[in-house]
Structure 1
Amino acid sequence: MSTLDELFVRLREATTPMEIETLQSGIWQLWLTTGEHLLDKHLEAGMRALSAGNYTQAITDFTTLIELQPTYAEGWNKRATAYYLRGEYRASLADIRETLRREPRHFGALSGWASMLRTLADDRGLLRVLVRLEQLCPHWPGIQGQLHELRNRLNESEE
């Protein structure tokens, strides 16, 4: 089994969508394991609630998980997702920041942050987040085109 650091090294070097997806899947498997039965129960309950569209219950479950294990980045990320789906962008962004404090390479949190910035039409913020994603995986599907388009749009608005 690969360690998280090894998977991230390989992700940075990956060039095909299938290879990138496989490595991301391996990373997610590690992120979705708390190593403690009680914490796993809260994570699973929150993920079931999230899948069922019960965002309030998901937030409650993920909050309990965060309170029990505040250093567990995925608890923060999952709660950020629930807040986002409930339309609470400020709360979601706060949890994304907490996720990235604990795991700066969290491409899921960065991708969610990029989606919100795109919705808010914050091109400068979006560029910063996409550059961070590019550093993790230069061949992330579509990222080079997005960066090119954003840089052109920002350059045109500054002229």
Structure 2
Amino acid sequence: MRHRLAALVIATLAVLPAHADQNDARLDRLFAQLAGIRTAPEAAAIEGKITEIWSLSGSDTVDVLMARAQLAVDAQDFATGKKLLDSVAEMKPAYAQVWFRRAELLVAMDSQQEAAADLEKALDLEPRHFRALAMVGQIAEAAGDKNAALAAYRRAVTLNPMLEAIARRAGQITDDTEKKPPPT
């Protein structure tokens, strides 16, 4: 029994990538699949795989710090979460997910400008990050920039057609814009 368990662990570790992040080759295939999906359950499964790949930094230390940061955020300990994410950003600045996670936290802390800067970094590293694009749209919309919000929402929905709430919001902005009379 003990040998079987050890063999299973070794086999599992062998199929897991040693390094995965926004540069993982599997993402191209997954994004192609996601673009063609028409049901929410299928989209959720592919989104989960994409998010899992994005979450693997290739560094055990970074992965542990990211997990601890998430625990802190879940416990509403934003200061600790931010310190941990700041450490990860210093250790691995080319890791898109740290910038996205930090942006999420900054929005929760009502620091939209800082969040927008972090989202820009995340999108520079992973332009297909549909969740980052959706958040850019939300921040732009809250700031009153409907054109930027609409552009971000449309890009997010192009990448992930099953972002139904984002697609609805883009439609509402489009409708509002078309109904509004031009300035005189």
Task: Show the counterpart of 1:44.
Answer: 67
Q: What percentage of aligned pairs have identical amino acids? A: 23
Aligned residues: 159
- Could you tell me which residue of structure 1 aligns to residue 39 of structure 2? 16
Structure of greater relative contact order (alpha carbons < 8 Å, 6+ residues apart) = 1
Q: Which residue of 2 aligns with 1:153?
A: 176
Aligned-partner residue type, residue 131 of structure 1: R
Structure 2, unmatched stretches of 5+, are: 1-14, 16-24
Equivalent residues of 2:134, 2:166 under 8 A apart:
no
CA distance in 1, matches of 2:58, 2:49: 16
Provide closer, same or farther for how the CA distance between residues 87 and 142 of structure 1 changes in structure 2, counting only shifts above 3 A.
Answer: closer
Q: 1:64 aligns with which of 87, 91, 100?
A: 87
Call closer, same or farther: CA 1:38–1:139 in 2, change over 3 Å.
Answer: closer
What is the CA-CA distance between 1:43 and the residue it aligns to? 0.8
In our comparison, the structure showing a higher alpha carbon Rg is 2
- Corresponding letter in the other structure for 2:96: A
**Distance of 1:74 and 1:113 partners within structure 2:** 15
Once structures 1 and 2 are overlaid, which stretch shifts more, 25-34 or 106-115?
Answer: 106-115
SS in 1 for 2:164: coil
Q: Against the structure 1 CA distance between its residues 101 and 131, is the aligned structure 2 distance closer, same or farther, given a 3 Å change threshold?
A: same
Deviating beyond 3 angstroms after TM superposition, the runs of 4 or more aligned structure 1 residues are: 142-145
With over 3 angstroms needed to count, the CA separation of the structure-2 counterparts of 1:157 and 1:20, relative to structure 1, is same
| In 1: Cα distance, 2:167 partner to 2:55 partner | 29
Corresponding residue of 1:104:
127
Given residue 30 of structure 1, which amino acid in structure 2 is its aligned partner? I
Q: Distance in 2 between matches of 1:145 and 1:78?
A: 24
Structure 1 runs not aligned, ≥5 long: none
Query: How far apart, in 1, do the equivalents of 2:168 and 2:35 lie?
Result: 18
Quickly say closer, same or farther: Cα 1:126–1:4, change in 2 above 3 A.
same
Q: CA RMSD in A?
A: 1.7
State the alpha-carbon separation in 2 of the partners of residues 136 and 90 from structure 1: 25
CA apart distance, 1:19:
1.0
Provide TM-score, normalisation by structure 1: 0.92
CA distance in 2 between partners of 1:79 and 1:143 (Å) = 21
CA distance in 1, matches of 2:130, 2:86: 21
Alignment TM-score, normalising by the size of structure 2: 0.80
Name which of 79, 85, 96 aligns with 2:102: 79
Compared CA separation, residues 86 and 145, structure 1 to 2 (3 A) = closer
Query: Within 2, Cα distance between the matches of 1:44 and 1:138?
Result: 29
